Amino acid sequence: MPVLSLDQLQWRNRFAQLPDTFYTRLAPKPLRSPRLVHASGYVAQWLGLDPAAFATPAFVEALAGNRPIPGSDPLAAVYSGHQFGVWAGQLGDGRALLLGEVDGPGGRFELQLKGSGLTPYSRMGDGRAVLRSSIREHLASIAMHGLGIPTTHSLALIAAEDPVRRETLETAAIVTRVAPSFIRFGSFQHWAARGDQDSLRLLLEHVIEHHYPECREPTLEATVERLLREVVARTARLMAQWQAVGFMHGVMNTDNMSILGLTLDYGPYGFMDGFDANHICNHTDTAGRYAWNVQPAVAHWNLYRLAEALRPLLADEQPLRRALDTFEAVFLQAFQDLLAAKLGLGRWQATDQELIDGWWQLLHTQRADFTLAFRRLAWADQTPGPGEPGTDVHEAAGGNAGHWLDLFYDTQSAGEWLQRYRQRLTQDARPAEQRRAAMLAANPLYVLRNHMAETAIRASQAGDDREVRRLAEVLSRPFEARPDAAGDAALPPDWARTLAVSCSS
Ligand code: AMP
Ligand code: MG
């Protein structure tokens, strides 16, 4: 039976069983006049919490950090990492607190408050998160889960009145993040950099015991190799999924890389509008270190840093090298499978790579809208060629009205690619309607474009949270065309072009 109060959940904290050098225990700092902006029903259910609890002041007060939850054991964890390719030394939870762990019907999850005040790891920061970035994290967590992409989750988003200075004066907010673990590559790097092998082993043991029991082998050597192989595989598949929806993380530092292969730490992320392979979503990333087309290579680089951190545990580096070398094959296979599904190709053929290369080139050259270009391909068998009459797309009610060809200014080139593609489709044995249904389940209609988040942010900053709630609902089922989301399928408006998303959060 789901319970009505956070206090009734069965709390424990296995991370807190590690030595106290791994963290600092401390309580969240209170926030003024907290209000619940939105909470996620599905996350509550995983935890065994009745969504009716959302309406209670006790829920909001606890997740605002104003009321301790009996059984929780709040702590800030320490970690280190490479930021933008440079070793940054010690970092850690500078504004987050792990409350503890709940064993619910959906599995075992840690709960973390993000934006709960200063910790010993806050460095120059103020320990807070602003409403703007918290809305972005909350909605992205929902959107990614809706897309079927591994991610940390957000139980609740709470806004408060406390002022927080960023480029301008904003207000504070807290998201309650939920994931089986928030351990990062940088958690391992931390102990390796200090030459503390005992702590490194304890962390490894914790991760194997609680999160990768299937990786335990008779020897330490074999266990480490298997773990790294598994982290490499999960990370490679995650990259394939990011690339396939046009998601850009924006700050792929090693301290933002989850040991579980989850999308972690949403900051200046973005979903691609018009496709530019070199697109940089983070305004602060002037060199384009984390541009869309380099994300898989950066993930591999980050895995090398993780392997280096594990190196002191082994007599030689060969097991680590073997594990690292599996990245490319796993990524390429996963990416190929996703593209074959998105393009409705059925079984992969030798000439498909050429077709797909032509596809990316077409999108890139014409800056065609990433999401709609894939989505409308579902009707490619009916799409009129350049200059031909007829209609193709059949979900006008969901906001997707128009031709596939409308997405291109050079319809001649687009039409040529379309001919090749249609030719290829004749070799797929499935009936057209079946293929169409499969493609619509592989290509979202609604992604969290920056301007959509921005509209919701502006409304919430003015005290109206309805748009956040509406988007949460739409983005939780992004493959479903729906009349109440017609505007969400649209190309970005002109004002969106001046939106700059930076690290400031
Ligand atoms: P990020 O790149 O946002 O994941 O953050 C990098 C490091 O800075 C982490 O150790 C964060 O905890 C810390 N940090 C970011 N923003 C703040 C803040 N406002 N107050 C304290 N620490 C922060
Ligand atoms: Mg981070």
Tens of pLDDT along the chain (505 residues)?
899 999 999 999 999 999 999 999 999 999 999 999 999 999 999 999 999 999 999 999 999 999 999 999 999 999 999 999 999 999 999 999 999 999 999 999 999 999 999 999 999 999 999 999 999 999 999 999 999 999 999 999 999 999 999 999 999 999 999 999 999 999 999 999 999 999 999 999 999 999 999 999 999 999 999 999 999 999 999 999 999 999 999 999 999 999 999 999 999 999 999 999 999 999 999 999 999 999 999 999 999 999 999 999 999 999 999 999 999 999 999 999 999 999 999 999 999 999 999 999 999 999 999 999 999 999 988 877 777 766 666 788 888 988 899 999 999 999 999 999 999 999 998 999 999 999 999 999 999 999 999 999 999 999 999 999 999 999 999 999 999 999 999 999 988 888 888 878 8
Instruction: Look up residue 76 and give its two tokens.
Output: 């800030």
Distance between CA atoms of residues 82 and 186, nearest Å: 8
Question: Are the CB atoms for 169 and 146 separated by under 8 Å?
Answer: no
Q: 124 alpha carbon to ligand 1 midpoint, in Å?
A: 9
Pocket of ligand 1 from Cβ distances under 6 Å: 91-95, 121-122, 125-128, 251, 253, 256, 265, 267
Residue with the smallest CA separation from ligand 1 atom 2 is 251
What separation in Å is there between the alpha carbon of 185 and the centre of ligand 2? 11
| Mutation probe of ligand 1 site: the residue of 255, 284, 502 with most atoms within 8 A of C-beta | 255
Cα–Cα distance for residue pair 289/279, rounded to 1 Å: 10
Helices (runs of H) and strands (runs of E) counted in the chain: 15, 13
User: Is the distance from CB of 74 to CB of 98 less than 8 angstroms?
Assistant: yes
Q: Left, alpha or beta for 269 (phi > 0: left; psi -120 to 50: alpha)?
A: beta
Ligand nearest to the CA of 121: 1
Distance CA 351, CA 176 (A): 47
Which residue among 73, 93, 255, 465 is the active-site one?
255
Known catalytic residue at 20: no
Name the packing angle between helices 185-193 and 197-211 (round to 10°).
160
